[in-house]
Amino acid sequence: MVYDVSYYFVPVEPGTDWAPWVAVFVSMLALGITIWQAWLSRTHNKLSVRPHIAGHSSWTDDGLFKFIVRNDGLGPAIITAARAYRDGVLVEGEGPEVIVKAFETMPGCELIAHEFMYLEFVLPAGHCIEVCTVKFGKEISEIDDFLAGHLALELEYKSAYEEPCPMYSSRRV
């Protein structure tokens, strides 16, 4: 079987050929959308591993007070600085000895248990440090207010993306 192939030539008018320009525009648009999507993805990833440190206290009627620091965020908190103050004066030292020094000669309080960290310390999401367990006397009616008037804890920390987070402070404003 024989096929007859005919070619038709259409004369081209001199002027702009739009097809290559449209292809360049579409490819640049696709590149821009890809970069924007990558930026959105990175922003989402940063937020989904953001730590948040909070202090939680509890006490019982029989005179037992506990103070814990917990990472209530979604990612690990890298604690870069930890400072304890007693009556506005920085307690010198590092690690658990800071807590012991802070409670030395505290009237009406006996330090039962304590835990603290050496720097840099990584506190995983959902985990906590039981900073102190204190037995307090009957002469102290509001142990939370009493300790807040004498002691303060400040923690500086950052996220896994090396972004600094707001400093945690147990001071009441």
Domain boundaries, the chain: 17-47, 53-169
Distance (Å, whole) CA 11 – CA 30: 34
What kind of fold does domain 53-169 have according to CATH?
Immunoglobulin-like (2.60.40)
Predicted pLDDT at 173: 41
Query: Can you tell me which residue has the tokens 């310390």?
Result: 121
What average pLDDT does range 133-156 have in this prediction? 91
Residue 82 scores a pLDDT above 90: yes
Higher pLDDT, 45 or 15: 45
Residue 5 scores a pLDDT above 80: no
Predicted pLDDT at 172: 57
Question: What's the pLDDT band for 1 if we cut at 50, 70, 90?
Answer: low
Question: For all residues of the chain together, what is the average pLDDT?
Answer: 90
Residue 4 scores a pLDDT above 90: no
In which order are the strands placed within the sheet that holds 53-59? Answer: 53-59, 64-71, 128-136, 109-114
Higher pLDDT, 109 or 15: 109
What average pLDDT does range 5-13 have in this prediction? 70
Predicted pLDDT at 10: 67
3-class DSSP assignment, residue 110: strand
